[in-house]
Copies of this chain bind each other. A is one copy, B any other.
Amino acid sequence: MTEEKPVKKIEELGSSIVTEIKGGRNPRFITLARTRSNVIFDQKKGYLKLGSAKEERNFLNVSQSKRFMQTMAIAAKCHRFVKENLHTTIRGLFYQLKFSLGEDIDENVFSEQAESNPLIEDLEVSLGLKRENLNLNANRKGVLAGNMKIIDTFGEEKIEIDCSKQGRSGWAIPSDVDNDIEFVNVKAKYVLVVEKDALWQRLNEDLFWKKENCILMTPQGQAARGTRRLIKKLADKGLPVYVFTDSDAWGWYIYWTIKTGSINLAYIGEDVATPSAKFLGVTMSDLDKYDFLNKLTINASEIDLKRAQEMLNYEWIGKYKEWKVELERMIKSKKKLEQDALQGPRLTFVDDYIREKIKNKDYLP
């Protein structure tokens, strides 16, 4: 996407407001409702998205006028960022607003990301753009290695980065993987997403990505927007995606967020969800296949057990009998299993485990 489209869209929004004012009408701003009741699971496509319920914000409404004004101020700032071709974060944006609008901006309204996020999200939804197109960087996290090159147009140079030449570090996945960046020469056969950076380093040291010709990626815990988006983009290139996490509430949450998106990001569900992703492990049923793992389980926490029960109730998870078995087994045994446990017999056992799982197509939907 070039800068023209976002600039044009923001200007159209501005013009429509001006037209309403000139016509003596109450200026309004319409967006999709991002309430829980308007988040739906698209059965056919396999991800969480927004329904059609709309939300209207009117300037001449005492309870809405402040937020209306703030949303317009944010749009104006983003318009400038895009024109200048400079990026910042919502924190940088907050300080620009405070600087321009002075003391009448209530610091507390913007001081928490949780409070300023909704206004940005309103804009994203209303304009049909992502914040990355408004030059607002989200937090980034995650690294990868593999047979792929990146062309990063940066500082007016085209920088080529070979993801098979990043050594012990890997390539750090940026906030924005769409604008002025291309993923080329993707020779890998699949994407392996490993929950923990520590295990990524273990597999990277074994050159697993080279031996197996995969993209070896870690989101370093829960996947950031940029990482989710990149997984989706690689899946769109036809690469199977396998996710490898702990067998616990947090690991499962990481997987399902990658696969179906999340309630919070339902408004960009199509862009960040990868419904074709499969769950490689570790699974509670690995305990039947690898006897030694039985002495390497640890106690599930109250949170694990509570979350497992909740997941059973999500229509898009509980419908799979394989997941029902997994979740119920943890609830019954009150035990969980970490991916690190696969290092028990020897450090390189984890490599063999993954190979065998993929060879046997032994993964969960």
Residues of chain A at the chain B interface (Cβ within 8 Å) = 81, 84, 86-89, 91-92, 94-96, 98-99, 102-103, 107, 111, 137, 139-140, 143, 150, 152, 154-155, 159, 161, 165-176, 181, 197-198, 201-202, 205-207, 210, 292, 295-296, 298-299, 338, 340-345, 347-348
Contacts and interface: CB of A to CB of B under 8 A. Distances in A.
Task: Give the number of times this chain occurs in the complex, counting copies.
Answer: 2
Contact of A181 (B81, B168, B338): B168
Given A92-B347, A198-B137, A347-B86, A166 B161 contact: yes
Nearest to A87: B205
A111 B347 contact: no
A33 B271 CA distance: 54
Given A92-B340, A340-B92, A345-B99, A201 B87 contact: yes
Given A102-B295, A155-B207, A295-B102, A202 B92 contact: yes
B99 A296 contact: yes
A51 B175 CA distance: 45
B172 A143 contact: yes
A95 B202 contact: no
A137 B168 CA distance: 11
B99 A295 contact: yes
24 contacts: A86-B202, A86-B348, A87-B201, A87-B205, A88-B198, A88-B347, A89-B340, A91-B198, A92-B340, A95-B340, A95-B343, A96-B344, A99-B295, A99-B296, A99-B344, A103-B295, A137-B201, A139-B197, A150-B167, A154-B168, A161-B165, A169-B171, A169-B172, A175-B201
Contacts of A341: 95
A171 to B, nearest CB: 6
Contacts of A168: 152, 154, 174, 176, 181
